[in-house]
Amino acid sequence: MSTTITITGAGGQIGYALLFRIAAGDLLGPDEKVRLRLLEIPQGIGAAEGAALELQDGAFGLLEHVEVSDDAAVGFDGCDLALLVGARPRGPGMERGDLLAANGGIFGPQGAAIAANASPDVRVTVVGNPANTNALIAAASADGVPSSRFTALTRLDENRARAQLAQTLAVPVDTVRRVPIWGNHSATQFPDVSHATVAGRPASEALEAIVGDVPAWLDSTFIPRVAKRGAEIIEVRGSSSVASAASATLDHVRDWVHGTDDWTSAGVVSQGQYGVPEGLVCSFPVQSIDGEWQVVEGLEVSDWARQRIEASVAELVEERDAVTALGLL
């Protein structure tokens, strides 16, 4: 048995970081063979073909086959896992509406091509920005594929939040759990520490002992640091997040396929949970059970947290209204 994985934008930076880790077994484990389909636009084909040559030179025992194409029907043929990384970046002078329209022109046809060519139980993870709304457009264009099969990556935001909290508390990052991201993968996102645990115990007392006024610290330090981490990376590194984004993508897909033993975060299609309008692709605390993401329900949400969530959801509604007005939904 093997799994067919399609990576769009495979000739780009995140694509390059993803391919070798997937081939090495970091996504599905050391026993699952993989077949890779690298989908690019004509300008990116050379870079994808070069990566394919390097994959060959890696002599990865798990890698059965690599195909490079600029044809979505070929790229998504028989695909079990689709990682939609390729997107149109915001260019100089581009308004938000232009960006949404340009990406709608990518993710609508890709959703249709997934419906026509992918395996019936395909799982789709949208990384390319604006990720939530791109996932919404792809899901709406994929006739016959349940919308629960379309997700947007917010795991990088969660990983950043857990890492910041771990650093503040001076504990190992893998002991920090339950720090979900709510809302949009954008500066309005709400990283929520109110349910956080360290080694299974609530983090709240330890946090108060270290930072004092927790609400003030959240407002002035923690939330802006997490929400603006992408900009910080660009400033320091001179280029956007790549390896950490690829790593989070693997975390997301691995958990979706293999299940979780605690909460994590993912952009999933809302069924109206926590008052988020039905149909929006919104990040929630989720668990992966029997191969499906399920929103963790019944959590206590303070008025302060609710305002934060509502602000990010309002942005998602605006994006949905804008793409609806453009005829993309």
Select the residue interacting with ligand NAX from 240, 260, 287, 294 (CB under 6 A): 240
The one segment of 40-48, 93-101, 168-176, 212-220 that binds ligand NAX by CB under 6 A: 40-48
User: In the window 175-204, what residues touch ligand NAX (CB under 6 A)?
Assistant: 185
Taking the CA atoms of residue 28, residue 73, residue 316 and residue 157 in that order, the dihedral angle to the nearest 10 degrees is 30
Taking the CA atoms of residue 57, residue 60, residue 61 and residue 64 in that order, the dihedral angle to the nearest 10 degrees is -80
Residue type at position 13? Q
3-state SS, residue 191: strand
Whether residue 240 contacts residue 12, with contact meaning beta carbons closer than 8 Å, is answered with no
Residue type at position 111? G
195 is catalytic: no
Q: Is 44 in the site for ligand NAX (CB under 6 A)?
A: yes
The one segment of 81-89, 163-171, 194-202, 209-217 that binds ligand NAX by CB under 6 A: 81-89
Select the residue interacting with ligand NAX from 63, 127, 266, 269 (CB under 6 A): 127
Q: Is 133 in the site for ligand NAX (CB under 6 A)?
A: no
Whether residue 81 contacts residue 122, with contact meaning beta carbons closer than 8 Å, is answered with yes
Which tokens belong to 119? 């395996």
47 to 13, 24, 66, 148, 197: CA distances (angstroms): 10, 20, 14, 32, 43
First-to-last C-alpha distance (Å) of the chain? 37
- Shortest distance, position 20 Cβ to ligand NAX, whole Å: 14
Contact map string, positions 89 to 118, toward ligand NAX, x by CB under 6 A: x----------------x------------
Closest-CA residue to 37 (of 21, 17, 15) = 15
Select the residue interacting with ligand NAX from 2, 25, 26, 41 (CB under 6 A): 41
Q: Which residue is nearest to ligand NAX (CB)?
A: 12
Active-site residue identified among 185, 195, 252, 258: 185
- Shortest distance, position 182 Cβ to ligand NAX, whole Å: 15
Give catalytic residues, as residue numbers: 185
- Residues found near ligand NAX in the complex (CB under 6 A): 8-9, 11-15, 39-41, 43-44, 47, 85-89, 106, 127-129, 131, 153, 156, 185, 230, 240-242, 245
